[in-house]
Amino acid sequence: MWQDIFAAIDEQYEKMVETRRYLHQYPEVSFYEEKTSRFITDTYERLGIPYESHVGGNGVIATLEGGKPGRTVALRADFDALPIQEENTVSYASKNDGAMHACGHDGHTASLLGLAEALLPFQKELPGTVVFLHQHAEEYAPGGAKPIVESGALSHVDAVFGTHLWVNAPTGVIQTAKGPFMAGADRFEITIQGKGGHGAQPHQTKDAIVIASQLVTSLQQVVSRRIDPLKTAVVTVGTFEAGQTFNIIADSAKLTGTVRTFDPEVQTLIIDEMEKIIKGTCTGHDAEYDFLYEKGYPPVENHPEEAELILKDAHHADPSLRTEEIEPVMAGEDFAYYLLEKPGTFYFTGAQIPDHYYPHHHPKFDFDEKALPHAAKTLLQAFISYQEKHMNS
């Protein structure tokens, strides 16, 4: 039966591409995915698969109960876009100004919907229950995973698996890790209030640009000089806003950035050290400051036994696939919230276009659509492997 379903997934390829390209043309950013959510529910309505909408916000959860006993496994795909103006000239480029699927979530959705359609004719033969978890708002904290978990919608689920189309890996490669896989992702904002004045009279000012520039440099020493070299952390200043014209010294400046960690103790140390550096620098310049630190998504901690299922069995889904156990990456993902509640794992499905490589969140991002069935097949294989592992327990 399983090989018949894998073949049915291959038959869904053109429809997956069609779905992906449609969603790519009409992206909706986090928390505003009403039309995308409706597209998903319309699909399940057409298939006759029961679903719930507005789960934790714009989330959609569909359920396919198999005809044989077994475990309940959730398979997740996110569907929000980013506030980016697309620069690709492809026929399916975004038609919504200032919004773009620049991370592959359109492909995640197309893969999961294709899997649902491929599974439907085999429903009576399926062991257990498949939960198709379509999540909104992955890109922007507090995200969509947390409210979905808090809604209790997954309380009956035994395990959860998810994948991310990943252009940093070649098509045909599946990557994951047993344990820490993706970093916790926090955000900070620092506002410096100095005293502005004429560019020719700096002695009468408290130059916010000079103060903020010192902070940009000093904050880099948090990781290089305060964190154990055997620990992993990142402190990045991403924006620097200050000044109005060339001959006026700015009275204020704002820095925003991100902190990435795996260890809560390292996270706390970084927050404390940042506060000390900001306070000391501003005190030395007789300036005032505001420091806002927002803890974002926790680290993605894969459950080792479920990660092993991916590494060991993914090739059963398609002989052309090969798996790699990789080091953790510093990108963040709110899939972490599911793994705090349920066993499971998150993994990457390679989708690199060799002659068109642009990283995730780039305005020219695109991925190899041949990876769509790979994502669907490996999610199904995760379901199969989990069922077989727990068949007699």
- Average pLDDT score over residue span 301-305: 98
| The pLDDT of residue 60 | 98
| The pLDDT of residue 370 | 98
| Fold that domain 2-181+299-389 belongs to in CATH | Aminopeptidase (3.40.630)
CB 110 within 8 A of CB 379: no
Q: Catalytic pick from 28, 78, 80, 333?
A: 80
Is 327 marked as a binding-site residue? no
Q: Catalytic pick from 78, 106, 117, 138?
A: 138
- Compute the mean pLDDT over every residue in the chain, rounded to the nearest whole number: 97
Which of 74, 76, 63, 77 is closest to 23 using CA atoms?
A: 77
- Average pLDDT score over residue span 81-103: 98
| The pLDDT of residue 393 | 63
| The pLDDT of residue 245 | 97
| The pLDDT of residue 247 | 97
- Give yes or no for residue 392 having a pLDDT over 80: no
| The pLDDT of residue 77 | 98
Is 198 marked as a binding-site residue? no
Tokens of 307: 């990660």
Is 361 marked as a binding-site residue? yes
Give the gyration radius of the chain's Cα atoms. Answer: 23
pLDDT digits (tens, 9 = 90+) for 338-381: 999 999 999 999 999 999 999 999 999 999 999 999 999 999 99
Is 282 marked as a binding-site residue? no
Which residue's entry shows tokens 């550096």?
277
Domain span(s) for CATH 3.40.630.10 in the chain: 2-181+299-389
Instruction: Determine whether 42 is an active site residue.
Output: no
- Average pLDDT score over residue span 120-133: 98
| The pLDDT of residue 17 | 98
| The pLDDT of residue 266 | 98
**Residue 41 one-letter amino acid:** T
CB 171 within 8 A of CB 352: yes
| The pLDDT of residue 244 | 95
| The pLDDT of residue 19 | 98
Domain span(s) for CATH 3.30.70.360 in the chain: 184-297
Largest CA distance in the chain: 81
pLDDT digits (tens, 9 = 90+) for 2-20: 999 999 999 999 999 999 9
Give me the half-sphere count of Cα atoms (radius 13 Å) on the Cβ side of residue 268: 3
SS3 20: helix
Is 108 marked as a binding-site residue? no
Instruction: Determine whether 14 is an active site residue.
Output: no
- Give percent of the chain above pLDDT 70: 99
- Give yes or no for residue 195 having a pLDDT over 90: yes
- Give yes or no for residue 78 having a pLDDT over 70: yes
Please state, in angstroms and as integers, the Cα–Cα distance from residue 27 to each residue in 18, 32, 34, 222, 288, following that order. Answer: 15, 10, 10, 38, 41
184-297 CATH pick, 3.30.70.360, 3.30.70.1280, 3.40.50.2300, 3.40.430.10: 3.30.70.360
Q: Where are the alpha helices (DSSP H) in 82-174?
A: 105-119, 145-150
Return the number of other C-beta atoms located less than 10 Å from residue 10's C-beta. Answer: 13
Please state, in angstroms and as integers, the Cα–Cα distance from residue 66 to each residue in 113, 125, 352, following that order. Answer: 17, 6, 35
